[in-house]
Amino acid sequence: MITLYDYELSGNCYKLRLLMGMLGVDWTTVPIDFYPGREHKSEWFLKINPLGQLPVIEDDGLVLRDAQAILVYLASKYDAVGTWYPRDNPALLGEIGQWLAFADGITGTASAARLHDALFYDFDVEAARAGAHRLFRILDEHLWFGEQEGRDWICSASHPTIADIACFPYIMLSEEGGVPRQDYPAIRRWCDRVKRIKGFTVMSGVFPAGPAKAA
Amino acid sequence: MLDTAKTRWHPVAATYDLPFRHVFHAQLLGREFAVWRADDGYVNVWENRCLHRGVRLSIGINDGRELKCQYHGWRYSNRTAGCTYIPAHPADAPARTITNRTFAAVERYGLIWSAEEPQGEVPELPGLAEGELLTLRGIPVNAPADVVAARLEGYRFQPNGRTDGSDAKVSVEASNEFSVALRAVDGEASTLAVFFVQPVDSNRSVIRGVLDGKVEGAVRLAVLHHHNDLLSKLRDIAEHEAQAQPVPAPLEPVIDRVSPELAEMPEETKHGRKATIRVEVARKWQAADGIAGFELRPIKGLLPTFQPGAHIDVHLPNGLIRQYSITNGPGESDSYIIGVKLERDSKGGSTCLHETVRQGDVLAISEPRNNFPLRRDAMKTIFVAGGIGITPLLAMAQALSNQSLNFELHYFAQNEAQLAFPEKTACLGTSLKPHLGLSPEQTGARLREILSGYRSDAHLYLCGPGPMLEAARHVAAEAGWPETAVHFEYFKNTNVIDDSSSFEVALARSCVTLKVPAGRTILDVMREAGIDMPSSCEQGACGTCLATVIEGEPDHQDVYLNDAERKSGTKIMTCVSRAKSARLVLDL
C-alpha cells in the first residue's frame, strides 16, 4: 500500500489525497508535524527527503518527493483508464507538464502568502500576493477562452488531468493568504467543476460545491 | 462623484457568469453581491452576507432552488431571500424577519444589471439588438472608474471580421462617466462597441463590452481575442496611471440591519385575521377528481417566503376565510399553488372556490404561517397523506427530495383519479407510494406495515381526514413512535366545543386580567381588550393562536396539540380551549 507523509493543512499533500481519492486508491498516512513541530526538517525526515519538504510517498519500495512528480507517478500507475496523464498523447503531456510548472509557480506565490499569514513565515507577502494575482490573471483568461471553445479543463482535453489537480489546492486556499479570487470568475467556475469530479474530497478551508446537473 | 452613481444601473456580471448552480461574486461601489441563477431562470442579486454570521454567500451552495450558507447551513429561498431552514433549530420555522437584502436584477445585452437604489429602467442602447450581439470578456482593472472610462474614449479596434487589419476609423458615438460607445469602420465593415465601466470600488473597475452583430465560430473567437488583447493593454496603462495617484480609500457600504418593511410592526386592525396580500388567480385547473388547483400570483411585488408545511388564509368573495396549505417545492416563489377539495358538506368555502372563483379573479390572502414545520435532520422521514391531506406533505416531500434526503410519501386515496398534482408527485420517483381503494380496516393494516420498525432517527408527518389521523396516530403509538417524532395537521376540529365555563385570564406581560364568560373565547375577549393576537382557522386546528400557559389548568378542546403537549399544561389554543381552573395566567 502507498504510504503518504502528510500534513493536513498542506495544499501539496491535499493534491495527492485528492487524486488518490478520485482514483480510488488506498493509502496509509504518516502525519508529519509541519507546524509548529517542523518535523519535516527533522533528522529522520531529511533522510527520506533531503529537501525537507512535504509530501513524500513510499510505494513498493519507491520513495518519491515533489507533489507534481508524485501526481505523474500515481496517475501513470493507478489510472486504469489513462485519462489523468494520457501517456499516448504527446501534445497533451506537454501541456500537462507546462501547467504542472505553473502549479509550482502558484505554490511559490499564493501558498507562500498563505504560509506568511497563517503560519508566520518570514516572506515578502506583498510580492507573493502580486505574483499570485499575475498567475491568476493568466489562468482566468486561459479558462475563459476555454469555456468559449467548449473546454472545461486546464488542458485541451474533454476530461480533467493532473494539471487541474496540481493547480486546484493553492488557488482554492488563496484567500487564506489574502489573495481574493473575486476578479477571476472563470477560475471560480472551474473550481466548481473540479469540486464536482467524482471522488472529490475536501480539506480544511476547501468547501464542497452544490450538486451538478443530473446526468 | 461615485455617490450619485448609486441610483444608476450598472452591469455587475455577464450572463456567462451565471452557469448552472454557480454563485457569482460581484461588487458595485464597494458593496458585495452574491449573484445566482435559480433553476427556474430567476437571477438573484443579494447582499453577500449570511444574516447569521456574516459569511459570504458567494461561497455558498446554489442547489437550484435555494442558496445554502456554507457555514451553518442556513437556507435562503430563490427570489425572496427569506430563510427557509436553520439546521440548528430543526423543529422551528424561521422568523420572517430573517430575510436577506435583495437588489434589483435585470438581464439585458448579455449582462446582469443592478443598482443599490435604481431609478428608471436599464438604459436602452440604440444599435444593440437583444440576441444579435456579442458580450466580451469582462476585464477587471485596478483603477478608478473615471480613469478607465477616460482611457476607453481613446480605445481603437477593428470591426468584426477585419481583426487582422489595423487601420479602422474609430469614432466616439456617445459617452458618459460610466460608458463609451465607439464605432469602428473599415471599408464595408462596421462594428459598434459599447463599453460599460462597472465601478467595483473606489480603485477597482470592470470593463464590460458588448458588440453589435452576431458572429460565429472562428471569427467570433478572433473578435473575442482581439478585444481581450486590446483591453488588457488598456488595463495595464490604466493601472499604471492609477498607481501614480494616491490610493483612494475603499468605499464602505452600509449594511442594513433588516429591511424597514420587515422591521415595522404590523398595523393594528380590529380583526385579527389579516389579508394584506392581493393575488390573482393565474390558473385554475382540475388537479384531480374533485380537487381544484389554484395558482395565485402577486398583483405586485414578491410573495413572502414560505416554508414547507406553511398555510395561507384565503379570504373568499363570500366573506368566508379558509386555510390552504402551500404545495410549492422549495424556491418556487413566483406564485403559491393550493389544492381545494370540493367538500360534500361544504359550508360555502370549497363550493365558492370551485364554482365562483375563476381565473383572473383577485383574492386577498394572509402571509404564510408555518405551524407544521418540517425537520430536515431525520435519517428517514415518513409522510402519510389521506386525500387532500397531500397538500402540506407534498411541499415537504419536494423539499427533502431537492436535498436528496431519505423519505417515503404514502398517499392514500380512493382511486388513481383522486391523486392530486400528478405533475409534482411524478418528480418524487419511487419515494411516492400510492395506496388506492382501501377500506378503513385495510388502511389500518397498511399503516401498521408502514409504521412498523420505528427507529430513533425517524420522523413521521401525518395529514388527512380526522378518522384516518386518529388511526395513524394510534398505530404509530403502538409501534413505539414517541409523540415527539409524530407530527400531524388536521383539516378541521370536529370536537364539539364546550364553551359553558367562565374563568379569568391574566396576561402576565400585558398586566391585564380579563373575564371570559360562557359562550365567548379567550381570543375574542383579548381582541376586545385591544390585544392583537394572530389567528387563522379559529377552530383549534391550525396552531396560529397558540399561547404559553404560566399558571392554571387549561381545558384543551383543540386538535393541534399532541397528548404530551396537552398533559404538560404549558400551551393553549386560545380560539377554542378554556380553563378548568378559575384563573389562567398566559405569557402574553
> How confident is the model over A11-52, as pLDDT tens digits?
999 999 999 999 999 999 999 999 999 999 999 999 999 999
CATH classification of the domain holding B318: 2.40.30.10
CATH classification of the domain holding B441: 3.40.50.80
pLDDT of residue B260: 66
pLDDT of residue A213: 61
Alpha-carbon span B537 to B390, nearest angstrom:
19
Q: Do B25 and A182 touch (CB under 8 A)?
A: yes
Residues B569 and B549 in one domain: yes
Chain B residue numbers with beta carbons less than 8 Å from the beta carbon of A208 are 61
pLDDT of residue B264: 64
pLDDT in tens, A128-169: 999 999 999 999 999 999 999 999 999 999 999 999 999 999
Q: Which residue has the cell 501517456?
A: A87
Is the Cβ–Cβ distance between B225 and A145 less than 8 Å? yes
Judge whether B96 lies within some domain. Answer: yes
Alpha-carbon span B268 to B275, nearest angstrom:
13
Q: How confident is the model at residue A214 (pLDDT cuts 50, 70, 90)?
A: very low
3 state SS of A47:
helix
pLDDT of residue B265: 55
pLDDT of residue A187: 98
Residues B135 and B94 in one domain: no
Judge whether B132 lies within some domain. Answer: yes
Judge whether B521 lies within some domain. Answer: yes
Q: Do B70 and A207 touch (CB under 8 A)?
A: yes
Average pLDDT for chain A: 96
The 8-class DSSP code of residue B92 comes to S
**Of B70, B75, B132, nearest in space to B98 by CA:** B75
CATH classification of the domain holding B66: 2.102.10.10
Residues B115 and B84 in one domain: yes
Alpha-carbon span A34 to A11, nearest angstrom:
12
| Residue A55, C-beta contacts closer than 8 angstroms, at least 6 positions apart | A4, A5, A6, A7, A10, A12, A13, A15, A16, A65, A67, A70
Residues B316 and B329 in one domain: yes
Residues B260 and B283 in one domain: no
Judge whether B393 lies within some domain. Answer: yes
Residue that terminates a domain, selected from B207, B241, B264: B264
* Chain A interface, Cβ < 8 Å to B: 141, 144-145, 147-149, 181-183, 185, 188-189, 192, 207-213
E strand or H helix at B468: helix B466-478
pLDDT of residue B458: 96
Count of structural domains within chain B = 5
Alpha-carbon span B400 to B383, nearest angstrom:
11
pLDDT of residue A215: 38
Judge whether B62 lies within some domain. Answer: yes
ipTM for this prediction = 0.95
* Domain interval for residue B448: 380-490
Is the Cβ–Cβ distance between B392 and B371 less than 8 Å? no
Residues B3 and B111 in one domain: yes
Residue B218 distance to chain A (closest CA, Å): 10
Residue that terminates a domain, selected from B264, B293, B325: B264
A189 → closest Cβ in B19, B220, B224: B19
Residues B129 and B258 in one domain: yes
Q: How confident is the model at residue A102 (pLDDT cuts 50, 70, 90)?
A: very high
Alpha-carbon span A129 to A119, nearest angstrom:
16
Residues B316 and B429 in one domain: no
Q: Which residue has the cell 452613481?
A: B5
What are the structural domains of chain A?
2-78 (3.40.30.10), 90-195 (1.20.1050.10)
pLDDT of residue B213: 86
Is the Cβ–Cβ distance between A30 and A187 less than 8 Å? no
Angle made by CA atoms B442, B445, B447, in degrees to the nearest 5: 110
B228 → closest Cβ in A141, A188, A189: A141
Average confidence (pLDDT) per 10 residues, chain B, 588 residues = 78 97 96 97 97 95 96 96 96 90 96 94 86 94 96 96 93 93 94 96 97 92 97 98 93 78 59 82 96 95 95 91 95 96 87 94 93 95 96 98 95 96 95 96 96 94 95 96 95 90 93 93 91 87 92 94 92 94 94
Alpha-carbon span B446 to B471, nearest angstrom:
11
Q: Which of A177-191, A197-211, B29-43, B45-59 has the lowest average pLDDT?
A: A197-211
pLDDT of residue B369: 92
Residue that terminates a domain, selected from B99, B122, B145: B122
Is the Cβ–Cβ distance between B425 and B449 less than 8 Å? no
Residues B452 and B386 in one domain: yes
Residues B132 and B219 in one domain: yes
Q: Do B61 and A145 touch (CB under 8 A)?
A: no
Q: Which of A141, A144, A182 to mutate to test the interface with B (most CBs of B within 10 A)?
A: A182
A185 → closest Cβ in B20, B24, B64: B24
CB count within 10 Å of CB A174 equals 25
Judge whether B498 lies within some domain. Answer: no
Judge whether B169 lies within some domain. Answer: yes
Residues B143 and B249 in one domain: yes
Q: Do A210 and B224 touch (CB under 8 A)?
A: no
Judge whether B371 lies within some domain. Answer: no
pLDDT of residue B39: 94
Residues B485 and B387 in one domain: yes
